[in-house]
Amino acid sequence: MAKMSSYTISRDYGFAPNPFWGYCTLATCKPKIRGFSVIGDYVVGFGGKDTGKHNKLIFVMRVEEILSFDEYWFDERFIIKKPNIYGSLKVQYGDNIYHKDENGTWNQLIGHHMVLCQ
């Protein structure tokens, strides 16, 4: 039986979840939801108090596929979700940011989340 997970979106910029390019993805933040969800589950997001959409439903998505970070990184469908801080806002908020290099070391692309924190 499908379960439902929910969370409050503190900043609604399209990073987590990322609804762009034909797929609504949750590849960052919310490690518990990502770790325990299975295909068929639902994830629901509500606006946080600073979003101007406090307690309002922002999205509902059904889990249709689960990929590792590396599978997501190399999948042709999601190349466009790699952030480019010099691109449009849609491109800046890409969530395809994690991958391992040839030595097995984790790498993270620079994206809006790093620029805003500096």
For residue 112, the surrounding DSSP H or E stretch is helix 112-117
Mean pLDDT score of the chain: 90
Q: Could you tell me the pLDDT band of residue 14, with boundaries at 50, 70 and 90?
A: confident
20 close to 87: Cβ distance less than 8 angstroms: no
Question: Domain range for residue 30?
Answer: 4-117
Q: Could you tell me the pLDDT band of residue 12, with boundaries at 50, 70 and 90?
A: confident
Q: How many domains does the chain have?
A: 1
Secondary structure of residue 65 in the 3-state scheme: coil
Average pLDDT of the segment spanning 7-36: 90
Judge whether residue 13 has pLDDT over 90: no
Q: Could you tell me the pLDDT band of residue 117, with boundaries at 50, 70 and 90?
A: very low
Specify the pLDDT at position 104: 95
